[in-house]
Amino acid sequence: MDFVLQAALNGVLLGLVYGLVALGLSLIWGVTDIVNLAHAEYLMLGMYATYWLWALAHIDPLYAIPLVVPAFFLFGYVTYRVLIRRILSAPMVSQIFATFGLLFFLRYSAFAAFGPNVRGIWGSRLEGSVPLGGLVLSLPKGAAALAALCTFAGLWLFLNRTRTGKALQATAQDHRVAQTLGIDTEQMFALSWGIGIGAVGVAAVFLSPFYQTSPAIGDAFLLLAFSSVVLGGFGTVSGALVGGLCIGLVENVLGALIAPTFKLLFVFVVFIAVLLVRPAGLVGK
Amino acid sequence: MHSGYGTREVIRGVSLSLGAGEIVAMIGPNGAGKSTLLRTIFGFLRPTRGTLHLDGESIAGVRPHQMVRRGIAYVMQGHNVLPGLSVEDNLQLGAYVRVDRQVRTDLDRLLEQFPILQARRRQKAGVLSGGERRILELARVLLQRPKVVLLDEPTLGLAPRMIDQVYDVVHSVKGAGVAVFVVEQNVRTALRHAHRACVLEQGTVRFEGRGEEMLQHPEVKRVYLGG
Ligand SMILES: Nc1ncnc2c1ncn2[C@@H]1O[C@H](COP(=O)(O)OP(=O)(O)O)[C@@H](O)[C@H]1O
Ligand SMILES: [Mg+2]
């Protein structure tokens, strides 16, 4: 029984991180109507950034936050200004090709620059584990989960308690109406990319101490983030959180009970089953 | 002004002027280009030819959100509320471009003036009825403190009692020295409330005149008033 509880604990911790990756995907999707297929490539690059800061400048991941997160906010912002802005009113197929192209561009740039080797950080301040009522709490995973929760809370407050946050919500709901209220929707679109990719930066930094990176690491995360967004209910902050938690739990608990090799299979079986019953997702109406 | 979509010209040379504290109505059949004209004035569409001035200053080519800062309010045909935000948030966004400190007082006064909104201020705007939405949209325009208001068929689909309420608000907007340009299918209502009116057909102004006069205009009577 203990190993199930242990798997559930890990599932919750990882699920929050999946939720954090899903959050950016969902926000960008909700505000700009663009499905960012390259989303998890930013995660991969964020992990490389954290790795190189550690390997070359001896900066611990814990202290990489104030460097990586603002840089990734800017990265998202610039991606919008340079690429996404041009495809906003393009047909859906062109949009898919554009972000798919971006995925390949980022991934193979990483291959070219860093080679195919798997790279991991060791000896970080975020290492080790503590006992927790008969279970083992991994410190780096706990820290990642806590960071995810803080990001969720921060974003919720921003969206619901600030003028700019409400303008962002208005833009997501109807960008024409938002413009008739004097909201610069271009600015809001760029902001959603900044926040979405910035959130991925947070996830990348906190994944680094316990998850090795390589150029193709994005695949699994993109699928998990997508499932979280769709499962939780598209377009809401709480949806990404709930979706991520479910995915993390299913993956880890069923993986531990049956076979870890088939973790992703279980995720998608449950994913399809939930959507058959609730097509709008768990949080959606 | 000339305007259209791609190579298709919809507005074929329309000249208009609006004065402060004046209500000008535009009527005309479906597809005449009324909504296209408003979209072009507000900057959603770029005019293919022509000029646009506000208080003597050219505002052609100004981006839509900047139009609001210049004092132009636009209530589009159809949906203008943000259904997922509360009634109060919707209202408050009317003051998005305002920087003065009076917003809160103005907002409270509006909630007092419109008990329907007061009663539902914490509910999502998506639950409002069609008439209530219109009241919300117009109350929001009041909070914007504009110089010019563009209304696209504000009474479409409303019951007669709501239509009167909508025009009560329109008159209070005008009362504050605002120029109101209203597009209407509802010809009698429009001509009754407007100081001046014009008829748009196939992208050009066929007739124009004072509101009451237009009600007597033989051609307008025949085509739009059914006799
Ligand atoms: N987005 C659009 N793209 C192309 N043509 C349009 C578009 N919107 C309207 N039209 C065309 O422009 C003409 C005028 O439409 P509109 O301005 O909506 O008329 P009205 O508001 O007077 O009913 C119509 O023939 C319509 O089919
Ligand atoms: Mg119209």
The residue ranges of every structural domain in chain A are 2-277
Listed by start position, the domains of chain B span: 2-81+144-225
Using a CB–CB cutoff of 8 Å, tell me whether A180 touches chain B.
Answer: yes
Using a CB–CB cutoff of 8 Å, tell me whether B154 touches chain A.
Answer: no
Q: Considering only CB atoms, which chain A residues are within 8 Å of B83? A: 173
Q: Give which of A243, A192, A165, A167 is closest to A34, Cα–Cα.
A: A192
ipTM of the complex: 0.95
| Among B76, B84, B97, beta carbon nearest to A173 | B84
Q: Considering only CB atoms, which chain A residues are within 8 Å of B81? A: 177
Report chain A (285 residues): mean pLDDT per 10 consecutive residues. Answer: 90 97 95 95 98 96 96 98 95 95 97 95 87 91 97 96 97 97 98 98 97 94 91 84 94 89 86 85 71
Which ligand 1 atom is the nearest neighbour of the CA of B203? 14
Q: How far is it, in rounded angstroms, from Cα A114 to Cα A15? A: 28
Answer yes or no: are the C-beta atoms of A209 and A65 closer than 8 Å: no
Residue B204: predicted pLDDT:
95
Q: Considering only CB atoms, which chain B residues are within 8 Å of A182? A: 65, 68-69, 96-97, 144
Q: Give which of A273, A170, A268, A230 is closest to A19, Cα–Cα.
A: A230
Q: Give which of A282, A217, A273 is closest to A246, Cα–Cα.
A: A282
Answer yes or no: are the C-beta atoms of B219 and B207 closer than 8 Å: yes
User: B196 C-alpha to center of ligand 1: Å?
Assistant: 24
User: B34 C-alpha to center of ligand 1: Å?
Assistant: 8
Answer yes or no: are the C-beta atoms of B165 and B137 closer than 8 Å: no
| Among B44, B83, B96, beta carbon nearest to A181 | B96
Q: How far is it, in rounded angstroms, from Cα A284 to Cα A84? A: 27
Q: Of how many residues is chain A composed?
A: 285
CB contact under 8 A, A173 and B85: yes
Chain A contact probe: residue of B39, B80, B82, B144 with most A CBs at under 10 A:
B82
Strands A135-138 and B204-210, bridge-based pairing:
unpaired
Q: Exposure of A12 by Cβ count < 10 A (0-12 exposed, 13-18 middle, 19+ buried)? A: middle
Which ligand 1 atom is the nearest neighbour of the CA of B28? 22
Residue A279: predicted pLDDT:
82
Q: Count CB atoms within 10 A of the CB of residue A113.
A: 11
Q: Give me the helix-helix angle, B130-144 and B160-175, nearest 10°.
A: 0
Report chain B (227 residues): mean pLDDT per 10 consecutive residues. Answer: 95 96 94 97 95 95 96 96 96 94 94 95 95 95 96 93 92 92 91 94 93 83 76
Inter-CA distances, B58 with B14, B17, B182, B226, Å: 17, 14, 22, 40
Using a CB–CB cutoff of 8 Å, tell me whether B78 touches chain A.
Answer: no
CB contact under 8 A, B65 and A185: yes
| Longest CA span, chain A | 58
Using a CB–CB cutoff of 8 Å, tell me whether B92 touches chain A.
Answer: yes
- Which pair of tokens denotes residue A233? 């209910």
Handedness of CA A224, A83, A29, A45 (dihedral sign): positive
User: B11 C-alpha to center of ligand 2: Å?
Assistant: 13
Q: Give which of B8, B17, B72 is closest to B42, Cα–Cα.
A: B72
Q: Which of B27, B36, B76 has the most ligand 1 atoms within 8 A of CB, as the residue to mutate?
A: B36
Answer yes or no: are the C-beta atoms of A227 and A243 closer than 8 Å: yes
CB contact under 8 A, B76 and A184: no
Q: How many helices (H) and strands (E) does chain B have?
A: 10, 10
Q: How far is B74 from chain A (nearest CA, A)?
A: 6
Residue type, B100: D
**Which bin fits A278, alpha (ψ -120 to 50), beta or left (φ > 0)?**
beta
User: B174 C-alpha to center of ligand 2: Å?
Assistant: 22
Class of the CATH domain delimited by B2-81+144-225: alpha beta
Chain A contact probe: residue of B66, B68, B93 with most A CBs at under 10 A:
B93
Q: Exposure of A249 by Cβ count < 10 A (0-12 exposed, 13-18 middle, 19+ buried)? A: buried
Residue A284: predicted pLDDT:
66
Residue A190: predicted pLDDT:
98
Q: Which of B5, B41, B152 has the most ligand 1 atoms within 8 A of CB, as the residue to mutate?
A: B5
Q: Considering only CB atoms, which chain B residues are within 8 Å of A173? A: 82-85
Pocket of ligand 1 (CB under 6 A): B 5, 10, 28, 30-36
Residue type, B52: L
How far out from the chain centre does Cα B126 lie? 21
Q: Of how many residues is chain B composed?
A: 227
Q: Give which of A186, A163, A153 is closest to A19, Cα–Cα.
A: A153
SS3 per residue for chain A: CHHHHHHHHHHHHHHHHHHHHHHHHHHHHHHHCCCCCCHHHHHHHHHHHHHHHHHHHCCCHHHHHHHHHHHHHHHHHHHHHHHHHHHCCCCHHHHHHHHHHHHHHHHHHHHHHHCCCCECCCCCCCCCEEEECCEEEEHHHHHHHHHHHHHHHHHHHHHHHCHHHHHHHHHHHCHHHHHHCCCCHHHHHHHHHHHHHHHHHHHHHHHCCCCCECCCCHHHHHHHHHHHHHHHCCCCHHHHHHHHHHHHHHHHHHHHHCCHHHHHHHHHHHHHHHHHHCCCCCCCC
- Which pair of tokens denotes residue A12? 């919750």
Handedness of CA B67, B72, B78, B84 (dihedral sign): positive
Q: How far is it, in rounded angstroms, from Cα B116 to Cα B128? A: 10
Q: Considering only CB atoms, which chain A residues are within 8 Å of B44? A: 176, 179
**Which bin fits A118, alpha (ψ -120 to 50), beta or left (φ > 0)?**
beta
pLDDT digits (tens, 9 = 90+) for A54-112: 999 999 999 999 999 999 999 999 999 999 999 999 999 999 999 999 999 999 999 99
Residue A222: predicted pLDDT:
94
